[in-house]
Amino acid sequence: MNEFDQTKQQDADMALLEKHANALMEHFDSVQVFVTRCDPAIVDGTVNAAFGLGNWFSRYGQVKDWINNEERRE
């Protein structure tokens, strides 16, 4: 995949994340979405993206709490 195609795909990915985050914001105070996709056409083989809406401190705190809980469960 060339650089132009990668940029188009990244733009499409972000538009999709924003669309769904906006839909979720109709029901929640904040939304933070992390996604990954395997793509053997790129060097590292994995595409990742993140998008969030709402209070940044709330999103950050929730993600940090989730990470701490997951590490404790290990």
- In this prediction, residue 1 carries a pLDDT of 65
Q: pLDDT tens for residues 3-49?
A: 778 889 899 999 999 999 999 999 999 999 999 999 888 777 899 99
Question: Residue 53 is encoded by which pair of tokens?
Answer: 């809406």
- In this prediction, residue 2 carries a pLDDT of 75
CA separation for the pair 53, 69 (Å, rounded): 23
Beta pairing partners, 46? 38
- Report the number of distinct structural domains present in the chain: 1
Q: pLDDT tens for residues 40-62?
A: 887 778 999 999 999 999 999 99
Domain that holds residue 17: 3-73
pTM (two decimals):
0.81
Element (H, E) at 17: helix 3-25
